[in-house]
Each structure stands twice: as structure tokens, then as C-alpha cells.
Amino acid sequence: MSDIVVFSPEEKAILIEKIKTYVAKELDQEIGGFDAEFLLDFFAEEIGVYFYNKGLNDGLDEMRVRIDTIADDVGYTLEKNSHS
């Protein structure tokens, strides 16, 4: 697996527009599509993996909680039925 976050062309186009809008609004600067794409590529290469790993770990944590809940429910149900 690559350490670089890769976006589809459609996703990249949306993100480039978002970067251009952000820079115009927050920094009062106009940048072109090439500069916005360059900035997007920088973030994807340098910090994208941190966002990816954070999302992955958050999802795994949630899955562990749900599995524990299911295991507790199944264990309780089986235990209760075995005493019937």
C-alpha cells in the first residue's frame, strides 16, 4: 500500500475548487487550479496518511465496541437459555 492518499479525478476536481474557495475567502488571495492542485498534492503526500490512519483507527475502535456489545448480548442470551 502506498503512503500517498490518492483521489479520483472527480474527487480531485472538487477538492481543488474547495482549496481555491478557502484561499480566496480566508486569505484574500486568488490562486489558480494548478496552484490549488499543487497544494492538494502536498497535503496528500505529507499529511494525508495521518488523516487516513485517524479515520481507520476511529472506525476500528467503533467496530470493537460494537463487537463487544454483540458478544455480551449473545453470551447473555446463550447463558439465559441454558438455565431454562
Question: Measuring CA to CA, which residue among 6, 17, 12 is closest to residue 44?
Answer: 6
Sign of the alpha-carbon torsion through 75, 77, 80, 81: negative
The reported pLDDT for the residue numbered 84 is 52
Tens digit of each residue's pLDDT (9 = 90 or more) over 9-66: 999 999 999 999 999 999 999 999 999 999 999 999 999 999 999 999 999 999 999 9
Report the C-alpha gap between 3 and 62 in whole angstroms: 24
Query: What pTM does this model have?
Result: 0.67
